[in-house]
Amino acid sequence: MFKRGQRVAIGASGGKDSTVLAYVLSTLNKRYDYGLDLYLLSIDEGIVGYRDGSLETVKQNSIDYQLPLVIYSYKELFGYTMDEIVTQTLDESGYTKACSYCGVFRRQALNIGAERSHADLIATGHNADDNAETGFFSCLFCNEKSDASLQTASVNDKNREMNQSLCYQKEIVLYAHFKKLLYFSIECSYAKFGYRGNSSFF
């Protein structure tokens, strides 16, 4: 999956999955001398009361794992914060497709951020529950082309390698607790607008 000398951006949100990923990659890189240039790449969506707290966790992870941290914001890249986008897209009933907008912007932000910081690859943390939710979500909306697997792709989306996330969410949490890893566990304030919660419930 990796080649010696590659610069790898670890997508860091401060949550359990990305925190465990950063810890494991950092540990293995040092233990087995993989020769990877690892760093944390974090995206500030501009969600007051949520992202500011998780970024503090990422900053501490950067110190704990001795990994450089690069942060890009929606405001910097796209001219709007997520809070501003939500305010402008709320309908009369108070609903907005916040997660749909954020998902598109976040992926673009990671790609742009990785390219600007000269990454060869982006590594993102997921778990088996994510895969199951995505697969069920795709069935609900008849999306036959959706791929629920973990993707580790080069910045320009070439030579993409696909790996299944085999660890369940509970196992990730147990590992994080066993290793006493610091992670951010508060749910996004806009999660109530997302459809993924429905597939997670089922």
Q: Are 137 and 195 in contact (CB under 8 A)?
A: yes
As a whole number of angstroms, the distance between CA 201 and CA 33 comes to 42
Q: Is 194 one of the annotated binding-site residues?
A: no
> Is 186 one of the annotated binding-site residues?
no
Q: 184: how many CB neighbours lie within 10 A of its CB? A: 20
Strands 161-163 and 150-154, bridge-based pairing? antiparallel
Residue 17 marked ligand-binding: yes
* 149 annotated as belonging to a binding site for a ligand: no
| Coil, strand or helix at 130 | helix
Rounded to whole angstroms, the Cα distance separating 77 from 1 reads: 29
Is residue 5 annotated as involved in ligand binding?
no
The binding site comprises 11-13, 17, 43, 125, 130
The binding site for ATP comprises 11-13, 17, 43, 125, 130
